[in-house]
Structure 1
Amino acid sequence: MSFHRNVAALRGRVPLAVAAAVALMLVFLPGADGAPAQPPQTVPKSVVRAADDALPTVTVVATGGTMAGRSDTPTSFQRYRAGTLLMEDMLAEVPNLDEVANVNSLQFGNKGSGGYTIAELYDLSLAVDNALKTSDGVVVTTGTDTMEEIGYFLDLTVQSPKPVVITGAMRPWTVIGSDAQANLFNAIVTAASGKTAWFGTVLMLNDEIHAVRDVTKTSSYRMDTFQTPEFGILGYVDDLKVRIMRMPARALRVFETRGRVVTTANALRNWRTPFDLTTIEKAELPRVEIFYNAQEAGGEAIDAWAAAGVEGIVTAGTGAGGISGAASQARNRAVQAGVMFASTTRTGSGSVYGGSGAVFPADSLNAPHARLLLMMALAFNDGVDEVRADFVEWASLQADITSALPSLQTS
């Protein structure tokens, strides 16, 4: 991690093409049914040619999941093989796409979301940024189990402000009443609309659009599983109408002048995270674990992770982030060993504040999201103070645009 601040000045100058070329030279992974590996797809395939040349281009980057699942029978809603169907074939079955966009597909992989490694998410992020060089928006299809984590990884690392929409399904493609076809269509509609540009990565399922930073999966089977506690949805899709009802703080940061004129360059400076993956190797992303607190929880797990070389630990505490006495003592020992901590709540909503030294407050981030942010802050910084600065800024993610608004003072 020692050289990251030294290369900060070079960020944005390292061509994405080189890294993306490596990222896309992946072996296409077999599906859950053990099908043989397919040749890797290195460039998007044109699947749907729009009736109107003026319509936008959307690339669908497919990773598998339930959406690409083949069910045992037309009514086996929970018995299916995830990551079986190819996106090119699925798109061919979706009607009226030519009224929405020119649609390309890139088969990044084909397996359940929980089967992807952090190193593969590194490659996925670069693939998305590379696709956005020639497309007006990108849709990423994944399994829903860890969709919020995959989406937040993209939110933290994709450098283009163009629309990125992540989607999937709670029912496989081949059962009656599947949500897969509608979710895929509406995600493409959302990306093609351009209305979520500058929003970072958003999640679109069940006709609803959520900020991926704030959304979480709340049910194992229900189709309305994704919810955004406290803040609510960003908007929704009705037929071909994309209705945006609020902006996330990520987009509002674009309007912060910070003493400068609002230009595209200054907007990008406010909007982009410092986590440009083209400036690091994937092996530099550190291991970060999550400790879930409970009544009289022991601290042995924390001790073991520290001994194993884990660089960061997120605590999912009770109430406003509290952990047991034994866990607190283990945390103190781990901090002395150089481990850094992020403090979250297990309640499902609310914020955590305070903390000092190597214990950082995660604000309203849940534990899985805080884990990814801590991973990035550790990878791109040296020392507690630098890690804390990046972590706290992007955990709180507040926006103040009052200086950009008309004054209401009367003369």
Structure 2
Amino acid sequence: MKNWKATGIKWTLAASMAVTAILPLTYSAPSTYAADAVVSKVEVVKRLPMVQVIATGGTIAGQSVDETSFTKYRSGTLLVEDMVAALPNKDQIADVSSYQFGNSGSSAYTIEQLYDLSKAVDEALKTQDGVVVTTGTDTMEEIAYFLDLTVRSPKPVVITGSMRPWTVIGSDAQANLYNAIKLAASGKTKYFGTVLMLNDEFHAAREVTKANSYRTDTFVSPGVGSLGHIDGDMIRVYRAPFRAMKYGGQWATPFDLNKIGKEELAKVEIAYSYQDAGAGAISGFAKAGADGIVTAGTGAGGISRAMSEERKQAIEEGVIFVSTTRTGSGSNYSSGEGIIGGDNLNPAHARIMLLLSLSFSENFDTIKGWFETYGYGQVEARK
């Protein structure tokens, strides 16, 4: 029989099965049987998932003063190419490439730059099986939710970073980047939208928030918890976000950035309420040209009398409001003329949702409808 390997022909798993199928099922072939020689030379080719790391900087790319300077470092210093190259055993989980989108702290990025980042993610997903985005943690939840609402591809998008710079002892940076690549390569979060992965846990972008300024377990999803966690080779998913459950993974929001230019992105601000809060924040934002304002209210969304009066005036001038709570968790149902209840979206997330909504429509009822479907994320029982 021909020595197929010598001819340069690489067998696939399907070819192996074809050879096996023609062997007599009732015959126990000796080890010298010719078919054994063929089967022994079958080469099963398994392609590793392709994952691109798109870097924007942050603490994960930080250079510390020395190896024990946990809080003294310059973020957004190291290049992602060097960081990826330093990861051990990555070739066992994925075929990893990298792209340096930027190298700054997360709060330095403008909404227009997030527009470009989202389009870069979608462009990468045309050829990649998953994308990892590295950012600073300060506004990571906002960047994640922007991507969650705008990226068109259903493939995995994982955003990660670290609470300690890359160059200190005990840094979480290397483990977070490695696990984010592993999660993206696994395909387990396909149709989940953007997920945030730090500290061996991953969360839905809509629900996650930063809860501590220094601790490595800073990210939490109040009231609902994480989607799952990673323990070595074990990736466990214990629940799915609304978008995967409600629409069978085929959910795409109306916020297709290919249909608008960066100059059409709306301007939305957040006004924080407190005891006897003045009207200046709302009046100032309205005069500065805000298209929408999110109020971070006390309790279930309450705002001071002065803020309430100023809100009425701003609504008459065409500003749309979303009411949320400053408490850190819980729902808000306050609505009315010009006001949309933010449900359990925190103020930062509600701002991203309102900003994108106003970028695609000026109609209050349309925007309210988008909040009630794409924004609220509630799961309804099938009838």
Give the equivalent residue in structure 2 for 1:303: 283
User: For 1:173-218, what per-residue CA distance to the aligned partner results, in whole angstroms no more than 9, with x for missing partners?
Assistant: 0000000000000000000000001111000000001111100001
How far has the Cα of 1:289 moved from its partner?
A: 0.4
How far has the Cα of 1:394 moved from its partner?
A: 2.1
Does the residue aligned with 1:220 lie in a helix, a strand or coil? Answer: coil
Task: Answer yes or no: is the 8 Å Cα contact 1:360–1:392 preserved in 2.
Answer: no
Give the equivalent residue in structure 1 for 2:85: 92
Distance 1:392 1:296 in 2: 31
Give the equivalent residue in structure 2 for 1:247: 240
User: For 1:286-337, what per-residue CA distance to the aligned partner results, in whole angstroms no more than 9, with x for missing partners?
Assistant: 1100001001101111111111111100000011111011000000000011
Matched, 1:206 2:186: no
Distance 2:93 2:209 in 1: 29
Pairs aligned (count): 340
How far has the Cα of 1:357 moved from its partner?
A: 2.2
How far has the Cα of 1:53 moved from its partner?
A: 4.7
Matches within 5 A, 1:6-405: 53-255=46-248, 268=250, 271-400=251-380, 402=382
How far has the Cα of 1:392 moved from its partner?
A: 2.8
User: For 1:205-248, what per-residue CA distance to the aligned partner results, in whole angstroms no more than 9, with x for missing partners?
Assistant: 00001111100001100000001100001000111221101111
Distance 2:226 2:201 in 1: 7
How far has the Cα of 1:400 moved from its partner?
A: 3.1
Give the equivalent residue in structure 2 for 1:19: none
Give the equivalent residue in structure 2 for 1:261: none
Distance 2:99 2:286 in 1: 39
Does the residue aligned with 1:140 lie in a helix, a strand or coil? Answer: strand
Question: Which consecutive aligned stretches of 4+ in structure 1 deviate over 3 angstroms post-superposition?
Answer: none
Distance 1:354 1:169 in 2: 36
Give the equivalent residue in structure 2 for 1:43: none
User: For 1:330-353, what per-residue CA distance to the aligned partner results, in whole angstroms no more than 9, with x for missing partners?
Assistant: 000000111000000001000001
AA aligned to 1:111 is S
Distance 1:392 1:337 in 2: 24
Task: Answer yes or no: is the 8 Å Cα contact 1:112–1:143 preserved in 2.
Answer: yes
Does the residue aligned with 1:98 lie in a helix, a strand or coil? Answer: helix
AA aligned to 2:211 is T
AA aligned to 1:293 is S
How far has the Cα of 1:391 moved from its partner?
A: 2.5
Q: 5+ residue gaps in structure 1?
A: 1-51, 256-266, 404-411
How far has the Cα of 1:401 moved from its partner?
A: 5.5
Distance 1:109 1:399 in 2: 37
Distance 1:90 1:368 in 2: 30
Task: Answer yes or no: is the 8 Å Cα contact 1:72–1:80 preserved in 2.
Answer: yes
Task: Answer yes or no: is the 8 Å Cα contact 1:358–1:388 preserved in 2.
Answer: no
Distance 1:391 1:398 in 2: 11
TM-score between the two structures when normalised by the length of structure 1: 0.81
AA aligned to 1:364 is N
AA aligned to 2:117 is L
Asked which structure has the greater RCO (Cα within 8 Å, sep 6+), the reply is 1
How far has the Cα of 1:355 moved from its partner?
A: 0.3
Distance 1:305 1:177 in 2: 43
Distance 2:91 2:170 in 1: 23
How far has the Cα of 1:250 moved from its partner?
A: 1.5
AA aligned to 1:390 is W
Distance 2:297 2:63 in 1: 39
Give the equivalent residue in structure 2 for 1:37: none
TM-score between the two structures when normalised by the length of structure 2: 0.87
